[in-house]
Structure 1
Amino acid sequence: MKLSLHRVFILIAALFFALATGMTAAQAATTINPAAAPTGTHLQTGSIGCSVNPTTELVTCSGFELAGVGNSNATATLTATYTATVQCRNHGGQIVEVKSQVTTAPTSTGSLSPKNGRLTVPELTSGPVPTAEDFIAKATCPNGNWTKELLGNTITLSSFTYTLHFAGFTGDYITITG
């Protein structure tokens, strides 16, 4: 397949737009499970998806409206998982042990109630990003006299999961992982 110069220019422009808006090449995986929602549930307005801000490492999942949900309540949940490296330093100043720590930042809409068979699902943003103190508090050193320290600027988003669950149904109607 031969690409014209015009098409190459458009692809390069799209790449620069994606980089400028914080989009990443690796997109989140979205699964819709119709068996986990009232029959006839469908997207009415908006779009279903999540994005990661590369500067703040906060995850934002878009708001949208579903129709055909009858009177079924639902809950949207977003859980972002962050990792960091904490090291243990003995009183001689030597680093004795290095441990990777994991912590989550969950957020939820709480119970959402439909009106006239339509369910408005608001935007959800993870946060706050755990602090160095959060990771240090969770870490343990083999010797209680050693000092725990966060290694450099190692707090990073390692993954996230967004779900929309209808009350009374088994499983999640929407699952987005990234």
Structure 2
Amino acid sequence: MKLSLRRVLTLFAAILFALATGMTAAQAVTNFDNAPQGAHYAKGAAEPVCTLSGLTVTCTGTAIEGVGNTNATVTLAVTSTFTGVCHNPGTNSKVVEPFTKSETTTTSSVIRSSRNGRLIVPAQSATGTSSAEFLADFTCPNPNWTAEITGTSISFVYTLTFAGFTEPAILITG
């Protein structure tokens, strides 16, 4: 297969843009073995897509047919992870205590199937914790020390699990 220079440069530019903006690819898995027999995406519907913008994760809605009278629970959990150090305020401002802490914001709702066995899954959205919010609640082991955040990351897990099933039919991580 021969790739043109234009295609290679376009692909390279897209990768650089994704790296520069901090975009990460979400991993999505639909497994209708974890759903009522006959479950499938409705015509014109597809697997939800989740995107991260700043601290907010937004996942598109979808429609699933063939679920009978089975309800489902949709959950979106956004985890903010902070790494940092606590400083002793002495003359050297010595680092005395490194830390890594995570805070998770979760939204969850039960979605009821319609009489004709169709499940309308609305869009979901959840916002992680900001550095300022984290620092407002975080204290170093010694109250005289000051906290400094040296790194942050955001991750999320979206699940749609049908009543009576232990594993999700839709799982998206990012």
Q: TM-score, normalised by structure 1?
A: 0.77
> What do the CA deviations read for 1:112-145 (whole angstroms, capped 9, x no partner)?
1111211000111221x31224423564533233
Q: How far apart are 1:23 and its partner, in Å? A: 9.5
Structure 2 partner of 1:79: 77
How much does 1:146 deviate? 1.9
Partner of 1:90: 88
Query: Which residue type is aligned with residue 102 of structure 1?
Result: S
Identity of aligned residues (%): 38
Can you give the 5+ residue segments of structure 2 that lack an aligned partner in the other structure?
none
Residues 34/51 of structure 1: CA separation in 2 closer, same or farther (3 Å cut):
closer
Q: Which residue of 165, 168, 171 corresponds with 1:172?
A: 168
For the 8 Å contact 1:90–1:146, the answer to whether it is kept is yes
Matches within 5 A, 1:65-76: 65-76=63-74
SS in structure 2 opposite 1:170? coil
Residues 101-140 of structure 1 aligned to structure 2 (within 5 Å): 101-108=101-108, 110-115=109-114, 116-127=116-127, 129-136=128-135, 139-140=138-139
Checking the alignment, whether the CA contact within 8 Å between 2:159 and 2:171 is kept in structure 1 is: yes
Instruction: Read off the aligned partner of 1:91 and give its amino acid letter.
Output: P
CA contact (8 A) 2:66 2:118 kept: yes
Instruction: Note closer, same or farther for the CA distance 1:12–1:58 as it changes in structure 2 (3 Å cut).
Output: farther
CA contact 2:56–2:125 (8 Å) conserved in 1: yes
Deviations 1:70-100 (A, max 9, x none): 1111111111211122321223133322212
Which letter maps to 2:46? S
Pairing 1:36-51 to 2, within 5 Å after superposition = 36-44=34-42, 45-51=44-50
Q: Residue 143 of structure 2 aligns to a residue in which SS?
A: coil
How far apart, CA to CA, are the structure 2 residues paired with 1:63 and 1:12? 34
Structure 2 counterpart of 1:163: 159
User: Hey, what does 2:146 align to over in structure 1?
Assistant: 147
How many angstroms does 1:69 deviate by? 0.7
The AA in structure 1 aligned to 2:60 is: S
Asked whether the equivalents of residues 88 and 95 of structure 2 are also in contact (C-alpha less than 8 Å), the reply is yes
Counterpart Cα distance in 1 of 2:46 and 2:12: 21
The CA RMSD over aligned residues, in Å, is 2.7
Distance change (3 Å), C-alpha of 1:42 and 1:12: farther
Following superposition, the deviation at residue 173 of structure 1 comes to 1.0
Question: 2:55–2:130: 8 Å Cα contact kept in structure 1?
Answer: no
2:57 is matched with which residue? 59
Counterpart code for 1:81: T
Residue 48 of structure 2 contacts residue 62 of structure 2 at CA under 8 Å; is this kept in 1? Answer: no
SS of residue paired to 1:135: helix
For the 8 Å contact 2:161–2:170, the answer to whether it is kept is yes
